[in-house]
């Protein structure tokens, strides 16, 4: 979860600013710049992190292990001898961090780049010859099963098995293609191998373009994540991407791109954007050159896609000229004026749910988005206000607020949203490491929506989602419905630019830093334990190891004093609600099937080897398919609910057919949603 930068800088950074100094930019070599970044990060962590660390040999050991896992997670490149050589610095990384010594970083990445070249050579040689799929051997995939190769010969053999596995899966895909069923196996194997060769060649083409600074984030974050899993370094490009994602808005031409054999290829033109309005750019077109006004064109063929995109993006109102290779082979120049593009799937949306002639509303909020760079940008509190007003005009009898998979966002926004459902009062307590406490409260006595309310959550509802669910639960304002608990992230982060002279992340990037923990109004922390719903139902994530409690360096759970607040006056009898729901769900065959499926999929995650004998591979796959069939009905569950767009949204569909189709798909998914069906039943119980 993030807080607005203005608040943090005024109330927290000012307190610490005189305690230490930062390096500032100048004419620097790459190494000098990296050292400055590391020094500023170390100082920031020391003076501002919620839980400062003792940087010693034990710290160094953990950083070493984490870093090696980040740069070669599948042990596919580095050799055991590389690992042994690196391990000589097992207890030195703490000193390197304190002294900005880069020898370990350079040694590891230089070695990794060399291993990339060798793997490319292995692949080219291996894929020239047919594979023998009658041989009994396995491809290892489990973390505990994989080990570093003891020699280059063993490394080459591991790559052979990896490529053989990819070719095997491609071969079976071709065998199941009705147009190729009569082809001899030898020809299918050759085609499968050629397809894999093309994919692998393209992969190594991109790998060859990587520079060391791409791995700097891995190196630095191996240190920062020892403080807690949410403290991390963002390069200038990473910070720019984060701002785009959290705001749901970007400035550009309005086209989605994908890398196809080195070409930045149009995969979608966004309706309403500059490219759509211009009408010349089409799906499948390849952008070869990008020219800014007054500059020479830049050839982006073969460039990494994210770098190519950065050339195409730009500030609203600026001009960009694209040289485009059309699908018919011709080339043309297309001049576009960039504009703000909104990513609709990020923003709040609503629908009408009709059940037995009664209308209910649902609002889905994917994240608590906010625009740090534009105070006039979209905020979820404003959007949800509009959605509620529109739903109320349709005389809904209750509202479902869907926070499933919502990973959080702006703390300020969650407080605003909570205030839409209750009179003024505290929403969340936020405490610094020195014990200083601040209470974030809704100061507006107005209540926008006072009807029955259900909040849906799951294991991936985190941070700001947990604040909202917890506050509504403590006030007795809403019934919380979901899996056994939410994610369990009870910490607050802010971004600190590493250039302390200009406070601009464009030079050195920024550090996302944990500075506070938040607590419910009842004093309990959501850290690690999350929020326990009032109505608990298993889902497919129930047994997955994805929550905060599975992170080794997560901050601990604790509790502080409760604060006074006025519970919701028109509250419901939660015991009655639980009893009614329990009666409906008792011995429910669908929920039992969900629970069985969750356990089964968790067991699949424990598989650590795959047979490369084609008959055994097919036999194993057939066995899994047979077992999985018992869970097919999960996907075809059908409620009696009728879901459709509210009246105020219909005019949007006149010009935006893509939005209309996206809404239809969402509505279809909702009519198959068992958890929504039970949530509507609960709304009836509390009406």
Q: Are 490 and 519 in contact (CB under 8 A)?
A: yes
Whether 452 is in a domain gets the answer: yes
Closest alpha carbon to 351 in 645, 552, 38, 114: 645
Per-position b or e across 456-494, b if 16+ CB within 10 A of its CB: bbbbbbbbbbbbbbbbbbbbbbbbbbbbbbbbbbbbbbb
Whether 360 is in a domain gets the answer: yes
From 314, 342, 370, the end of a domain falls on: 342
Query: Positive or negative CA dihedral for 179, 185, 186, 188?
Result: positive
* Active centre residues (catalytic): 463, 474, 489
295 shares a domain with 261? yes
Rounding to the nearest 10 degrees, give the CA dihedral for residues 65, 71, 77, 78: -40
End-to-end CA distance of the chain: 33
pLDDT at residue number 17: 30
Whether 603 is in a domain gets the answer: no
Cα separation of 228 and 232, whole Å? 9
Cα separation of 674 and 404, whole Å? 14
418 shares a domain with 306? no
pLDDT at residue number 18: 28
pLDDT at residue number 510: 94
Residues near 507 by beta carbon (within 8 Å), at least 6 away in sequence: 25, 236, 498, 499
From 175, 193, 217, the end of a domain falls on: 217
193 shares a domain with 145? yes
Spell out where 388-509 has E strands: 399-402, 425-432, 437-442, 453-457, 479-482, 491-497
548 shares a domain with 432? yes
65 shares a domain with 106? yes
486 shares a domain with 536? yes
From 342, 372, 400, the end of a domain falls on: 342
pLDDT at residue number 302: 83
Cα separation of 463 and 367, whole Å? 10
Among all chains, which residue has been given the structure tokens 């791109």?
257
Whether 226 is in a domain gets the answer: no
**Number of domains the chain is built from:** 3
323 shares a domain with 446? no
pLDDT at residue number 29: 56
368 shares a domain with 326? no
127 shares a domain with 59? yes
Whether 615 is in a domain gets the answer: no
| CATH number of the domain encompassing residue 267 | 2.30.42.10
3-state secondary structure of 478: coil
574 shares a domain with 426? yes
Looking at the DSSP assignment, which residues form a beta bridge with residue 494?
A: 513
pLDDT at residue number 485: 96
Whether 592 is in a domain gets the answer: no
405 shares a domain with 323? no
Whether 240 is in a domain gets the answer: no
Give residue 299's domain range: 249-342
pTM of the model: 0.88
Closest alpha carbon to 439 in 420, 424, 426, 423: 426
Whether 71 is in a domain gets the answer: yes
pLDDT at residue number 395: 97
351 shares a domain with 277? no
| CATH number of the domain encompassing residue 437 | 3.90.226.10
pLDDT at residue number 503: 66
All residue ranges of the chain with pLDDT < 50 are: 1-28
């Amino acid at each position: 979860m993030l807080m607005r930068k203005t608040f943090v800088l005024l109330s927290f950074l000012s307190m610490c600013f005189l305690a230490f100094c930062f390096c500032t930019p100048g004419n620097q070599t790459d190494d000098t710049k990296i050292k400055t970044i590391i020094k500023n990060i170390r100082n920031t962590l020391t003076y501002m992190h919620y839980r400062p660390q003792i940087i010693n040999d034990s710290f160094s050991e953990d950083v070493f292990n984490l870093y090696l896992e980040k740069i070669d997670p599948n042990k596919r490149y580095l050799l055991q001898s590389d690992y042994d050589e690196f391990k000589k610095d097992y207890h030195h990384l703490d000193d390197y961090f304190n002294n900005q010594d880069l020898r370990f970083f350079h040694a590891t990445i230089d070695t990794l780049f060399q291993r990339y070249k060798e793997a490319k050579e292995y692949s080219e040689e291996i894929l020239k010859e047919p594979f023998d799929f009658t041989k009994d051997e396995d491809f290892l995939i489990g973390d505990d099963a994989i080990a570093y190769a003891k020699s280059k010969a063993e490394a080459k053999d591991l790559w052979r098995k990896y490529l053989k596995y990819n070719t095997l899966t491609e071969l079976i895909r071709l065998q199941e293609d009705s147009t190729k069923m009569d082809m001899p196996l030898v020809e299918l194997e050759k085609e499968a191998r050629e397809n894999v060769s093309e994919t692998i060649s393209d992969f190594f083409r991109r790998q060859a373009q990587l520079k060391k600074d791409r791995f700097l984030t891995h190196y630095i974050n191996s240190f920062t994540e020892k403080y807690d899993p949410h403290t991390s370094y963002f390069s200038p490009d990473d910070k720019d991407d984060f701002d785009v994602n959290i705001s749901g808005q970007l400035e550009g031409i309005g086209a989605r791109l994908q890398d196809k054999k080195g070409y930045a290829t149009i995969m979608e033109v966004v309706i309403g954007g500059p490219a759509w309005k211009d009408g010349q750019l089409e799906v499948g077109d390849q952008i070869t050159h990008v020219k800014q006004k007054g500059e020479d064109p830049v050839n982006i063929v073969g460039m990494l896609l994210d770098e190519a995109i950065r050339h195409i993006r730009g500030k609203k109102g600026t001009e960009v000229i694209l040289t485009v290779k059309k699908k018919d082979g011709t080339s043309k120049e297309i001049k576009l004026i960039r504009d703000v593009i909104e990513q609709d799937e990020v923003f709040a949306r609503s629908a009408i749910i009709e059940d037995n002639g009664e209308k209910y509303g649902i609002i889905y909020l994917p994240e608590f988005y906010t625009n740090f760079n534009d105070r006039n940008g979209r905020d979820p509190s404003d959007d949800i206000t509009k959605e509620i007003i529109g739903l109320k005009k349709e005389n809904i009898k209750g509202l479902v607020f869907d926070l499933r998979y919502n990973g959080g966002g702006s703390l300020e926004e969650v407080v605003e949203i909570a205030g839409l459902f209750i009179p003024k009062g505290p929403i969340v307590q936020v405490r610094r490491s020195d014990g200083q406490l601040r209470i974030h409260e809704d100061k507006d006595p107005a209540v926008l929506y006072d009807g029955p309310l259900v909040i849906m959550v799951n294991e991936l509802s985190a941070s700001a989602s947990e604040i909202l669910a917890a506050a509504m639960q403590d006030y007795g304002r809403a019934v919380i419905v979901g899996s056994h608990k939410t994610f369990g992230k009870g910490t607050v982060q802010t971004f600190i630019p590493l250039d302390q002279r200009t406070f601009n992340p464009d030079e050195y990037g920024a550090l996302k830093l944990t500075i506070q923990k938040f607590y419910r109004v009842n004093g309990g922390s959501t850290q690690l334990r999350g929020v326990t719903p009032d109505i608990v139902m298993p889902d497919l994530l129930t047994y997955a190891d994805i929550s905060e409690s599975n992170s080794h360096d997560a901050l601990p759970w604790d509790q502080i004093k409760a604060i006074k607040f006025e519970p919701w006056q028109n509250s419901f009898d939660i015991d009655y609600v639980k009893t009614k729901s329990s009666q409906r769900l008792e011995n429910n065959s669908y929920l039992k099937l969900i629970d069985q499926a969750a356990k089964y999929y968790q067991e699949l995650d424990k598989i650590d080897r795959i047979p490369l004998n084609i008959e055994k591979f097919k036999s194993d796959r057939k066995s899994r398919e047979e077992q999985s069939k018992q869970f097919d009905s999960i996907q075809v569950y059908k409620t009696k609910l009728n879901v459709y767009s509210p009246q105020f949204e219909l005019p949007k569909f006149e010009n935006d057919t893509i939005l209309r189709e996206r809404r239809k798909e969402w509505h279809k998914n909702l009519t198959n949603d068992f958890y929504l069906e039970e949530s509507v039943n609960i709304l009836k119980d509390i009406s």
